[in-house]
Each structure stands twice: as C-alpha cells, then as structure tokens.
Structure 1
Amino acid sequence: MSAPAALDETTRTELEAAAFRRLVAHLRARTDVQNIDLMNLAGFCRNCLANWYLDAAQERGLPLSKDQSREAVYGMPYEEWKVRHQSEASDAQKQAFDRAAGEPH
C-alpha cells in the first residue's frame, strides 16, 4: 500500500516516526503485557521491534549495538526490564508459542 499522493516523502517519514514513537511509548506503559503474549497474538514483540530498529541503523552504517536498540525500545537496559517486569511464561503461553511457531507466515 502506498502513501497518499498528498504526502511528500519527508512528511510520510515524520508520520511513520511519530507512530513508531507512540507504539514504543505504549509498549513501555504496558509492562503487564509480556513479550510472549505479543508473539502469540501479533507475531512480534519488543525484541523484534528492537531488532528492526537495529537493522535500520546497520543498513545506514550507524554504530548501534543490540543492547542500545533494546534500550531504545524498552526505555531501560533489557536486563533491568526483565527483572522489573518479565514473569515466567506459563505452560499455556509456551504451548501457544510453539503452535504459532509451526504455522506458516
């Protein structure tokens, strides 16, 4: 799907960046939603988003590390986020993840 003709490339990029920032803020606020829940429902999680961010930086030759990309998404070092907010996945969550991993995308 292409952007409406009325949007120039700069404006489109600015809107996409604003939407990304809003998504990241929303995910930071919703620490009750575990990554495995996101993976099971949407097929991506905070780590995926951080990896996409890292990929974009690397495509542009920018020196960004995996830890830095995760901090950009989580708002803190990943290890700190895990200690504060990550719970052990239930058996049901793990089974749903395993089922989803076997489905074609």
Structure 2
Amino acid sequence: MDDKTRIELEAAAFRHLVQHLRERDDVQNIDLMNLAGFCRNCLSKWYRAAAEERGVALSDPAAREIVYGMPYDEWKSKHQKEASVEQKKAFDQSQGHKGH
C-alpha cells in the first residue's frame, strides 16, 4: 500500500471514530478512560498536537469542537453526567496503569 492510500484510510477511520463518539453521547468520557485509557479530550489533544507539529495553530477549544461536533461546554451541559463514586474510584486506580 502506498503512503497516500494509507493516509486516506487512516483519515477515513479517524472520521468514523469521531462520528461514532459523537453519536454515542451516552458513553461518558470517564467510562472511556476507565476502559480504554483515552477519551474524547485525549483525542482532541492528539489532534491539536498533530496540527502544531505541522505548524498549524489550533487552540484546545477548537480541537475539542472538531471532536465533539460542538463547543465543549455545550456538549458537557447536554450530555455529561456527574461521575459516580465507582467511576471515580476506577479512574483513580487506573491512572497509574494507563497513559495518554
């Protein structure tokens, strides 16, 4: 596979992942962190870092809007729930074992 095709496939997979996360607004970021070691915020930080590596200025809020499909504060008010004690405990325990 040539590089151009690989990059196009990777971009398509990324777009599909972002769309899936937008549609699954019932899945909380803390659940993603506890199960997979990354969340929507991590993905937006990786996106911003990739932009910066290529000399493209992109703020954290702009990168989050790309991932969330709306301003982060709007997404939080519509979809984010208070984390349960169990979720917080699992998150605290997982932080020493997962990196992002």
Two-structure CA RMSD over aligned residues (Å): 0.9
- Kindly report structure 1 stretches of 4+ aligned residues shifted beyond 6 Å: none
TM-score by length of 1: 0.92
- The correspondence for 1:37, drawn from 31, 41, 45, is 31
- Residue 17 (structure 2) pairs with residue 51 (structure 1): no
- The correspondence for 1:17, drawn from 11, 17, 20, is 11
What amino acid is aligned across from residue 73 of structure 1 in structure 2?
A: V
Identity rate, percent: 67
Q: Which runs of 5+ in 2 are unaligned?
A: none
- The correspondence for 1:97, drawn from 63, 85, 91, is 91
Alignment size in residue pairs: 99
CA distance in 2, matches of 1:24, 1:14: 15
Q: Given that residues 37 and 98 in structure 2 are in contact (C-alpha distance below 8 angstroms), is that contact kept between their aligned partners in structure 1?
A: no
Q: Rg: which structure is higher?
A: 1
The alpha-carbon deviation at position 104 of structure 1 amounts to 5.9
TM-score by length of 2: 0.96
- Residue 59 (structure 2) pairs with residue 65 (structure 1): yes
Q: Which runs of 5+ in 1 are unaligned?
A: 1-6
The alpha-carbon deviation at position 103 of structure 1 amounts to 2.3
Highest relative contact order (Cα 8 Å, sep 6+), 1 or 2?
2
CA distance in 1, matches of 2:48, 2:78: 24
What amino acid is aligned across from residue 20 of structure 1 in structure 2?
A: F
When residues 91 and 74 of structure 1 are mapped into structure 2, their CA distance, relative to the original with a 3 A threshold, is same
